Copies of this chain bind each other. A is one copy, B any other.
Amino acid sequence: MSFSIGEVAKRLGCNVQTLRYYEQIGLVAPAHRTEGGQRRYGQKDLEHLKFIRHSRELGFSLDSIRTLLRLSRHSDEPCQQADALAREQLHQVRSRIARLQALEAELADMVEQCECNVVANCRVIEVLGNHDLCQHGDHHVGAHAVRD
């Protein structure tokens, strides 16, 4: 019924520092402690943490998760905001896929065209230094939109 931090980490597939970190930044309430000062987690704490980890796996930021957690505690309120956050996340994921597919195309060309001889005629080095050699010119947009 009551779990140590290590047990929780194992169940969630994260490590213990991460759980302490979530407590530290106030994403979850401070865990109950033993007399000796060690954390013990109940079933409800576990559910909250599962929610958080699953959301993280889907790429939501801790900030969005904070909102989603707050929403999940007010089950009588409209869920437009949760819906909007999910749609926004979906949009971001799709953008990242699109960008990564552009990178994939260029990298695949580079690798394929390399004769793997010496650097002087290495297609990889050549293309990196000269963007005009790309077959697919549009991978330069939004260089920072590809995280998680």
Give the interface of A toward B (CB within 8 A).
Answer: 13, 47, 50-51, 54-59, 68, 71-72, 74-80, 82-83, 85-87, 89-90, 93-94, 96-97, 100-101, 103-104, 106-108, 110-111, 114, 116-120, 122, 124-125, 127-131, 139-140, 143, 146-148
Chain B residues with CB under 8 Å of A90's CB are: 104, 107-108, 111
* A82 engages B129 (CB within 8 Å): no
Chain B residues with CB under 8 Å of A89's CB are: 107
> Quick one: given A97-B100, A100-B97, are A76 and B118 in contact (CB under 8 Å)?
yes
11 A-B pairs (CB sep. < 8 Å): A54-B128, A58-B128, A75-B118, A77-B119, A79-B117, A79-B119, A82-B114, A82-B124, A86-B110, A94-B104, A96-B146
> Quick one: given A83-B114, A114-B86, A148-B147, are A129 and B97 in contact (CB under 8 Å)?
no
**Which residue of B54, B79, B146 is within 8 Å of A129 (Cβ)?**
B54
